[in-house]
Amino acid sequence: MTQVTTTPFDGQKPGTSGLRKKVIQFQEAHYLENFVQAIFNAVKGIKGSTLVVGGDGRFYNKTAIQLILKMAAANGVKHVIVGQNGLFSTPAVSNVIRKRSALGGIILSASHNPGGPKGDFGIKFNSANGGPAAESVTDVIFNQTKTICQYYVLEAGDVDLSVLGDTMIGDMCVEVIDPVADYAAMTQDLFDFDKIKALFQGGFTMCFDAMNAITGPYATAILEGMLGAPKGTVINGEPLADFGGLHPDPNPVYAKSLFDLMLGNNAPDFGAASDGDGDRNIVLGRGAYVAPSDSLALLTANAHLAPGYANGLTGVARSMPTSRAVDRVAEALSIECFETPTGWKFFGNLLDDGRISLCGEESAGTGSDHIREKDGLWAVLLWLNILAERRESVADILTQHWQTYGRNFYSRHDYEAVDTSAAMDVMAKLEARFDSLVGTTYQTETITSADQFMYSDPIDGSVAKNQGIRIGFASGSRFVLRVSGTGTEGATLRLYLESFEPATSRHGMDTQDALKAIIMIADEITDLKSITGRDAPSVIS
Ligand code: G1P
Ligand code: ZN
């Protein structure tokens, strides 16, 4: 074993998803080593433990895994379970951690950020419940990165990750497993595969765009293999180190070809896509895009149609900026609905404690108590199960949902890579105006509330402050402004806009038109455009 002397580095405070940086940063001497050692120093019980390791296959995945294995062996880890060829989707890691009672897992991914040598890379630690480590753990990791003086690496050759089975390095066993098998078995327990098979047999058509990222092997095995969807249902199904140049973020901009297909003349019945590491999803029907916030509401209203949720839901949760469409369903079902800060980790305690069964975020993440990560393919399968039961089109299901509950028009405007101090300035100036804003009327909208969102965890009482600014209007409309925790360049400001429309006659409106008034008021109140020097958002979703 080699002990390498190193110097503390300015480890970025782990945001919502661990450490995420440009690949070139990770290639700097000692950079990844220091972060991995910081994890091993921070997490209790590493010696003699079992860990799960894998990533979405992006550039640097294999290099990072070989290093992690040698460092794990040098730090006394007993057993590491790795996906074949270093591959694991994020939800599959969560599942294996739980199934194999591991101490935790290390996931290599930068989620929906671009890959390749010039793209992004990332690393995060998940705990024994299968979910992203709690802030109490990530804080210790961060402190370690600031004080670290040495790290440990075993001098050993690389492990052949293409071959299934066990290999010893030093005293540690590396077990290479099929990354799909456990995950596929888990979904079989939750959903009615026979019903979904019958749906496909009846001629139901679908396009799943894996965006050359990790869900390809999972979707191909489950949809085409187990559920009998025709070959070719999954497109871009091969995980590539640079995602084939695609930006694996399933939004209307980066998944444009899927949107064009689904909104065009030859659309199949159902379309879906996932992101780089497989935890996000979007779904579309023929001529109908289901906004993620609406998808969460719809899944909540229909989950009981799938065997895994047949007994009903205990409660639901959504991240604060997610639209309040799901709140209306929860009210109708008389179940609790929690509003948590952005980031999946905030759902962890509620799921562990059985307070919620389903949860989701506006950023195309939906999941349930089956694991502790959001799960892209799971959401697609739940949709398929619902479609197999209801035998109606996605568009009809969506329209009926709005008729029953009203429609929450919703959109997110991102201002990416803005100057960090300008972004801080926008936030500070808006916060300073809270008192004067409340009671002010702009056109027909009167501001009734303005606050910085603060969350007290109902289970452990931990408090998360400064989670984004909420401006509420008397009409039930609102906008939210927050700084992204996952950007890798400057700062990303996210403006979330929402208006509630009870009148069925107006449900067919274009979303941006329906939100026009709120968009104009948000522009005026935040001064965002003049402070950042931007005249339009970089991405509208
Ligand atoms: C984004 C999403 C958030 C998600 C996170 C990790 O974080 O908005 O919902 O949990 O990625 O996938 P943000 O960049 O907004 O901080
Ligand atoms: Zn992701």
Whole-model pTM over 0.85: yes
Residue 8, pLDDT score: 65
Integer Cα distance of 539 and 497 in angstroms: 14
Residue 16, pLDDT score: 46
Residue 353 has pLDDT above 70, yes or no: yes
Pocket of ligand 1, candidates 363, 373, 489: which has the most ligand atoms within 8 Å of its Cβ, to mutate? 363
> The tokens of 136 are what?
């109490």
Tell me how far the alpha carbon of residue 216 lies from the centroid of ligand 2, in angstroms: 14
With a 6 A CB cut-off, is 488 part of the ligand 1 pocket? no
* Residue 332: CB atoms within 10 Å: 12
CATH topology classification for 2-179: Alpha-D-Glucose-1,6-Bisphosphate; Chain A, domain 3 (3.40.120)
Out of 3-12, 349-358, 454-463, 482-491, least confident range? 3-12
Confidence of residue 2 (pLDDT cuts 50, 70, 90): confident
Q: Do domains 183-405 and 407-540 have the same CATH topology?
A: no
> The tokens of 219 are what?
């979707």
User: Which of the ligands is closest to the CA of residue 278?
Assistant: 2
The single-letter DSSP state of residue 305 is G
Tell me how far the alpha carbon of residue 264 lies from the centroid of ligand 1, in angstroms: 30
CB crowding 150-189: b at 16 or more within 10 Å, else e: ebbbbebeebebeeeeeeebbebbbebbebbebbbebbee
Residue 523, pLDDT score: 95
With a 6 A CB cut-off, is 485 part of the ligand 1 pocket? yes
Superfamily in which the 407-540 domain is placed by CATH? Alpha-D-phosphohexomutase, C-terminal domain (3.30.310.50)
Report which ligand 1 atom has the smallest distance to the Cα of 17: 6
* Residue 264: CB atoms within 10 Å: 10
CATH topology classification for 183-405: Alpha-D-Glucose-1,6-Bisphosphate; Chain A, domain 3 (3.40.120)
Q: Give the pLDDT mean for 69-90.
A: 98
Residue 18, pLDDT score: 77
Residue 381, pLDDT score: 98
Q: Where are the alpha helices (DSSP H) in 353-503?
A: 376-390, 394-405, 420-432, 434-437
Residue 155 has pLDDT above 60, yes or no: yes
Contact yes or no for 195/220 (Cβ under 8 A): no
Report which ligand 1 atom has the smallest distance to the Cα of 486: 14
Pocket of ligand 1, candidates 13, 16, 293: which has the most ligand atoms within 8 Å of its Cβ, to mutate? 16
Average pLDDT value over all residues in the chain: 95
Element (H, E) at 106: strand 104-108
Q: Where are the domains of the chain?
A: 2-179, 183-405, 407-540
Of 146 and 305, the one with more pLDDT: 305
CB crowding 28-51: b at 16 or more within 10 Å, else e: eeebbbbbbbbbbbbbeebeebbb
Tell me how far the alpha carbon of residue 363 lies from the centroid of ligand 1, in angstroms: 7
Confidence of residue 15 (pLDDT cuts 50, 70, 90): low
Residue 133 has pLDDT above 50, yes or no: yes
